[in-house]
């Protein structure tokens, strides 16, 4: 069924992403989950349809998709596999700092790599700096015409396979948050290495690693914006990324709902009637659908504000919180409704429930979203 | 906690705590990884009289009461929901059914071996039919002389493949639907009974689930439990009895998870103070502590009713309804507090998250808690 | 067929005791009681001895009025009966008083071939009660025991002394104090727990032991009990190069004699 709130172009993109998901992601997602890695060929496939770097503007060779278009695609990818969506979402996320603060030269470099099929990474979190990004212990010191980076980043999405990334480091640790700066770091720089790979409960095929930076020297012009603007860039980046994470979460929730509906129609109770005919079950399905639809429209609303160029920080945080809470609740409900079958590896809904949990945590925990929302309300 | 436990109950609790530390803690993580049935632990449970502890001495039990039994489940669950499930399926579902609905002869023949641990029991209720294209495989029992002949599949049978004896539900009168279901005692070695496969699942790994195939399995008429057609009544009562033990399982898992989150919250410093100092975290902890406390009281109360031989159906259903909600929400919050750390596959919180979902699943609509409670109110 | 007596102490579980960071005072308001850990080894050893030799095991304890809570616990671990003295005098009792009380109760209530104690208690760990008890009863004391065998009236014990062991033999009765490595106490089965309720316990009144005031007057007065907190040095190495940090850490550890 066509979604009439989308433009014709967006509908076409949605259909393309849906077809891709059905053909290339869904058949292998469980295997990726089991192994904890995805097949590289999927990235080639997604390049073939030009959806690997949706956020890159047309003038730099990308598709220059508007935010709603990115959202509808990411919802489909999230529907197929949250880990795959996280990988591509991370690609988009890593390019937002360029859109926010990049010079033309920097954009040429960064976007160029993404358009060519490289993966981008985003390294903000540290062992001692999660929600509190200001406690960053990674440092960047100017030595002649080079920045020298030292430190350890953790929970860095896609960074083990990325060939270019945005890394946050403190140029002045005495200033805390105000000393944080953003840098472009290419994988091939000396002193850059990938540390431990994180084994996660969910989104297992997405690559989450520790990054080790040891006297990594990068050109002076790899600083994004000015010294001390790192926090501002990070916050704006997360503003942009939140509705994308929310879109993936809507996809996860929709998948769980669809699975529960299919189960309710197919599974017969002892009297030979589909369990969907029991009101206890049908009302639960209705509750799930209410949440999924509300989440989707909250996400679309935030993105339309963004595409219209008006402030959307609060709406993005609201959408992220509601959509990821929905993914959590609906996926857990689907497992519950489908009973032992849903809990087993025979079904994929147990994977949805493991995957959904992380959406409440990353890109700013839902507690941080509340700080953002309340900050907007009370200012 | 001021619920008046007797000295014996407190000692039993202490024994179970020591037992868990000694025999379960060393293997719990590895068991989750491999999913292999912990036969050595089951043997130790037998030697410590856990397997028949609430059954009467005349059948080899310890007659320690159902409250003592749920205390043990709670203690074991603080370390391993899977071991608790093995015990619940053996003692609450299978053994209870035989004790409550078996004839004097059946009880004398079966229960002593279940109490001593010579035999492990399982409860075979769920049937496949939900997975796309599988179709119905209902187990049908056809009367032939002084035997019933069983044909069909049972799926997601906990302790399946490692049990020596099964309580199997089969349709003796398929046309009559629920009213045509009956329960049988079936020896695992019966000719024609085979294990199709073991089934992977999200959590409770180590409590093995299997699919059983019945191909012309001859079961003597004397193995019919209760009257022909009494199956649904048996399922309802057995599942409600078990739901009190499962409530204790939820309480144990949630309690241990909460303690883990408290420990983490005190250690993890963000924004210059331990995250446990933030009201948002304190609110989550306070709510889960309150929920767990109330759930524990409800579990103990329902267990006391069972122990006294009073009507317990409504209270047991309330345990199921309440623990189902609060157990899951507690673990969603625990992972939220622990963030990326708790989401890690190696962390105990992520195991508890996966395990608790299995503990709150309602498998049969016969024991649907809202229905049981409403029926009682409206009677 | 040895008759064995095990003495045990009902102590606060040290894991539940918190140290108030301010004045280092101990907060035991949430602490539960337990049988002192090494005493569990003594009980287990007694049970192992009678399991192979037959015989009987009794238990004896001196504690506060709360010690009554310990009876089913100790009986669930095997002994056939327990005698207990619960008195407020316990609050101030040191090893001298405790040994006097236990000795008087033993003289009053029975004769034993072997008296077993834990090497020390989990709380005060003075390691004095067993030897004092032997002295009062004028029988041999063997401490630091890691192995026991009984041959008729002969008791053969292996003592652990630093890097070597010593095997000694005495004619019973004797008091032996055992080390934790002597065995691994079993966790009581539920049938044992349930059976404990049916086993006899007997209260012995302190007043009936006819001890003089001097024998109940502690020799040692506890002036204070405070938590010991190891002060962290909180040294942070902030060299740009990780290798330098590691080198500094190793140097510091070497300086502390840690490596």
CATH code, domain carrying C117: 3.40.50.620
Residue of A nearest to C240 (CA): A150
Asked if the A8-115 domain carries CATH number 1.10.540.10, the reply is yes
Whether residues C209 and C255 fall in one domain: no
User: Is the confidence at residue C54, as pLDDT, over 50?
Assistant: yes
The token pair at B344 is: 């890690």
Residues C98 and C37 grouped into a single domain: yes
C55 and C161, same domain (yes or no): yes
Residue A212 CB neighbours (<10 A): 17
- Pick B343's closest partner by Cβ from A340, A342, A357: A357
Yes or no, beta carbons of C189 and B8 under 8 Å apart: no
The answer, for A214 touching chain C at a CB cutoff of 8 Å, is yes
Task: For chain C, count helices (H), then strands (E).
Answer: 6, 13
Q: Is residue C225 part of a domain?
A: no
Would you say residue B133 has pLDDT above 50?
Answer: no
Contact C40, C77 (CB under 8 A): yes
In a shared domain, residues C211 and C243: no
Partners of C241 on chain A (C-beta within 8 Å) are 150, 214-215
In this structure, are C172 and C118 located in the same domain?
yes
Whether residue C108 is predicted with pLDDT greater than 60 in this model: the reply is yes
Task: Please indicate, yes or no, whether residues C53 and C153 belong to a single structural domain of this protein.
Answer: yes
Is C110 inside a domain boundary? Answer: yes
The predicted-structure confidence for C205-228, as pLDDT tens digits, reads as follows 999 999 999 999 999 988 988 888
Element of type H or E holding B42: helix B39-47
Nearest to C197 among B8, B49, B50 (CB): B8
B378's CB contacts (< 8 A; 6+ apart) are none
- On whether the A120-228 domain is CATH 2.40.110.10, my answer is yes
Calculate what percentage of chain A has a pLDDT beyond 90: 79
Residue C249 lies in a domain: yes
Pairing label, strands B140-144, C154-161? unpaired
Task: Please indicate, yes or no, whether residues C20 and C143 belong to a single structural domain of this protein.
Answer: yes
Q: Which chain B residues are within 8 Å of A339, Cβ to Cβ?
A: 126, 156, 361-363
Kindly list the residues from chain A whose CB atom is less than 8 angstroms away from the CB atom of residue B335: 357, 361
* Contact yes or no for A149/A213 (Cβ under 8 A): yes
Lowest mean pLDDT among A210-224, B193-207, B344-358, C214-228: C214-228
Q: How far apart are CA A64 and CA A68, in angstroms?
A: 12
Nearest to B200 among A125, A280, A344 (CB): A344
pLDDT for B112:
97
Instruction: Report in angstroms the alpha-carbon separations of A74 from A6, A119, A166, A315, C32.
Output: 15, 16, 21, 18, 55
Tens of pLDDT, residue by residue over A344-375, are 999 999 999 999 999 999 988 999 999 999 99
- A199: tokens are 């084994």
**Closest CA relative to residue A232, chosen from A285, A292, A300, A178:** A178
CB-CB neighbours of C106 under 10 Å: 22
| CATH code of domain A231-378 | 1.20.140.10
Helix axis angle for B348-359 and A349-359, nearest 10°, is 130
* C91 lies in some domain: yes
How deeply is B132 buried, as exposed, middle or buried, from its count of CB atoms within 10 A (0-12, 13-18, 19+)? Answer: exposed
H helices of C148-225, where? 190-196
Tell me whether residue B18 is one of the annotated catalytic residues: no
For range B214-231, the mean pLDDT: 96
Residues C42 and C159 grouped into a single domain: yes
Q: Is the pLDDT of residue B1 over 60?
A: no
What is the ipTM metric for this complex? Answer: 0.92
- Residue B260 or A175, more confident: B260
Distance from CA of C188 to the nearest CA of B (A): 6
On whether both C237 and C149 belong to a single domain, the answer is: no
Q: CB of A139 within 8 Å of any CB in chain C?
A: yes
**Domain identity same for C194 and C247:** no
Structural domain including C240 reads: 232-259
Check pLDDT > 90 for residue C105: yes
* Angstrom distance (rounded) from CA B127 to CA C154: 67
- Report the number of distinct structural domains present in chain C: 2
Helix (H) or strand (E) holding B149, with range, is strand B147-158
Q: Rounded CA gap, A57 and A39, in Å?
A: 27
Residue C222 lies in a domain: no
* Nearest residue of C to residue A138, measured between CA atoms: C240
Kindly state the average pLDDT of the residues A21-33.
95
CB pairs under 8 A between A and B: 138
Residue B365 has pLDDT above 80, yes or no: no
Average pLDDT (C13-30) is 89
So where are chain A's domains?
Answer: 8-115, 120-228, 231-378
User: Where do the domains of chain B lie, and which CATH numbers do they carry?
Assistant: 7-120 (1.10.540.10), 124-230 (2.40.110.10), 232-378 (1.20.140.10)
Q: Are C193 and B53 a contacting pair at CB < 8 A? A: no
Is B339's CB within 8 Å of A361's CB? yes
Interface of B with A in 198-257 (CB under 8 A): 199-203, 209, 232
Instruction: Tell me the average pLDDT of chain A.
Output: 93
Pseudo-torsion of CA C119, C124, C126, C129, nearest 10°? -70
């Amino acid at each position: 069924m066509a979604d009439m709130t989308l433009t014709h172009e967006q509908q076409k993109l949605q259909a393309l992403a849906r077809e891709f998901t059905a053909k290339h992601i869904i058949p292998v997602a469980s295997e990726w989950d089991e192994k904890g890695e995805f097949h590289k060929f999927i990235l080639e496939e997604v390049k073939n349809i030009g959806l690997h770097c949706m956020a890159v503007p047309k003038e730099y060779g990308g598709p220059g998709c508007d935010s709603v278009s990115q959202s509808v695609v990411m919802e489909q990818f999230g529907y197929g596999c949250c880990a795959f969506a996280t990988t591509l979402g991370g690609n988009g996320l890593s390019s937002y700092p360029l859109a926010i603060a990049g010079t033309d030269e920097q954009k040429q470099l960064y976007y160029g790599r993404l358009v060519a099929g490289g993966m981008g990474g985003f390294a903000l979190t540290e062992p001692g700096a999660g929600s509190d990004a200001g406690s960053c212990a990674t440092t960047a010191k100017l030595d002649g015409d080079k920045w020298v980076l030292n430190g350890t980043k953790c929970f860095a999405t896609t960074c083990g396979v990325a060939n270019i990334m945005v890394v946050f480091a403190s140029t002045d640790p005495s200033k805390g948050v105000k000393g944080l700066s953003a840098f472009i770091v290419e994988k091939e720089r000396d002193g850059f290495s990938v540390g431990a790979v994180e084994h996660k409960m969910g989104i297992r095929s997405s690559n989450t690693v520790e990054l080790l930076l040891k006297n990594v020297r990068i050109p002076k012009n790899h600083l994004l914006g000015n010294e001390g603007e790192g926090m501002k860039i990070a916050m704006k980046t997360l503003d942009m990324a939140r509705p994308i994470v929310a879109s993936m979460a809507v996809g996860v929730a929709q998948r769980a709902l669809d699975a529960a509906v299919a189960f309710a129609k197919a599974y017969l109770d002892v009297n030979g009637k589909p369990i969907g005919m029991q009101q206890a079950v049908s009302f639960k399905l209705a509750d799930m659908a209410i949440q999924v639809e509300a989440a989707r429209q909250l996400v679309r609303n935030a993105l339309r504000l963004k595409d219209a160029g008006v402030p959307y920080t609060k709406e993005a945080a609201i959408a992220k919180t509601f959509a990821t809470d929905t993914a959590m609740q609906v996926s857990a409900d689907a497992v519950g409704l489908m009973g032992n079958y849903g809990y087993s590896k025979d079904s994929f809904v147990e994977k949805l429930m493991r995957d959904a949990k992380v959406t409440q945590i990353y890109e700013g925990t839902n507690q941080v979203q509340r700080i953002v929302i309340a900050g907007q309300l009370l200012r | 906690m001021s619920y008046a436990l007797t000295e014996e109950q407190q000692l039993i609790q202490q024994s179970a705590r020591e037992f868990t530390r000694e025999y379960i803690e060393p293997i719990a993580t590895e068991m989750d990884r491999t999913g292999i049935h912990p036969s050595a632990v089951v043997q130790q449970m037998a030697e410590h009289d856990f397997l028949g502890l609430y059954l009467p001495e005349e059948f080899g039990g310890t007659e320690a009461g159902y409250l003592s039994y749920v205390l043990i489940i709670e203690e074991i669950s603080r370390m391993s929901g899977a071991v608790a499930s093995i015990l619940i399926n053996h003692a609450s579902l299978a053994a209870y059914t035989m004790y409550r609905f078996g004839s004097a002869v059946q009880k004398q023949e079966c229960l002593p071996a279940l109490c001593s641990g010579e035999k492990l029991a399982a409860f075979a209720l769920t049937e496949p039919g939900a997975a796309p294209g599988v179709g119905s495989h209902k187990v049908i029992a056809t009367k032939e002389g002084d035997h019933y002949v069983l044909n069909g599949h049972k799926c997601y049978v906990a302790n399946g493949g490692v049990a020596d004896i099964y309580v199997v539900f089969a349709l003796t009168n398929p046309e009559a639907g629920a009213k045509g279901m009956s329960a049988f005692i079936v020896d695992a070695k019966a000719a024609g009974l085979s294990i199709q496969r073991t089934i992977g699942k999200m959590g409770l790994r180590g409590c093995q689930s299997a699919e059983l195939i019945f191909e012309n399995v001859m079961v003597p008429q004397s193995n019919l439990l209760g009257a022909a057609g009494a199956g649904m009544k048996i399922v309802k009562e057995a599942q409600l009895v078990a739901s009190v033990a499962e409530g204790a399982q939820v309480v144990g898992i949630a309690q241990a998870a909460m303690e883990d989150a408290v420990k983490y919250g005190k250690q993890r410093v963000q924004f210059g103070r331990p995250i446990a100092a933030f009201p948002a975290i304190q609110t989550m902890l306070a709510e889960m502590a309150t929920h767990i406390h109330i759930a524990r009281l409800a579990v103990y109360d329902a267990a006391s009713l069972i122990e006294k031989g009073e009507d317990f159906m409504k209270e047991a259903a309330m345990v199921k309804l309440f623990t189902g909600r609060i157990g899951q929400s507690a673990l969603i919050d625990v992972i939220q507090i622990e963030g990326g750390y708790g989401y890690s596959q190696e962390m105990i919180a992520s195991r508890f998250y996966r395990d608790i979902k299995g503990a709150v699943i309602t498998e049969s609509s016969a024991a649907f808690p809202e229905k049981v409670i409403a029926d009682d109110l409206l009677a | 067929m040895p008759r064995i007596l095990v003495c045990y102490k009902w102590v606060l579980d040290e894991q539940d005791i918190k140290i108030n960071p301010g004045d280092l005072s101990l907060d035991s308001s949430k602490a539960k009681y337990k049988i002192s850990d090494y005493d569990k080894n003594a009980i287990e050893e007694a049970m192992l001895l009678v399991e192979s030799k037959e015989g009987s095991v009794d238990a004896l304890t001196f504690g506060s009025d709360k010690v009554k809570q310990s009876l089913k616990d100790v009986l669930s671990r095997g002994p056939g009966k327990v005698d207990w003295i619960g008195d407020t005098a316990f609050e101030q009792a040191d090893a001298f008083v405790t040994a006097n009380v236990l000795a008087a109760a033993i003289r009053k209530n029975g004769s034993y071939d072997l008296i077993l104690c834990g090497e020390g208690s989990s709380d005060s760990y003075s390691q004095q009660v067993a030897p004092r008890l032997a002295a009062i009863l004028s029988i041999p004391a063997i401490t630091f025991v890691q192995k026991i065998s009984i041959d008729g009236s002969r008791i053969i014990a292996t003592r652990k002394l630093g890097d070597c062991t010593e095997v000694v033999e005495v004619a019973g009765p004797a008091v032996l104090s055992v080390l934790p490595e002597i065995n691994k106490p079993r966790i009581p089965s539920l049938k044992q727990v349930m059976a404990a309720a049916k086993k006899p316990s007997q209260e012995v009144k302190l007043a009936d032991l006819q001890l003089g005031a001097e024998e109940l007057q502690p020799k040692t007065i506890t002036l204070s009990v405070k938590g010991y907190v190891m002060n962290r040095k909180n040294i942070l190495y902030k060299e740009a190069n990780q290798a330098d940090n590691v080198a500094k850490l190793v140097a510091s550890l070497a300086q502390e004699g840690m490596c």
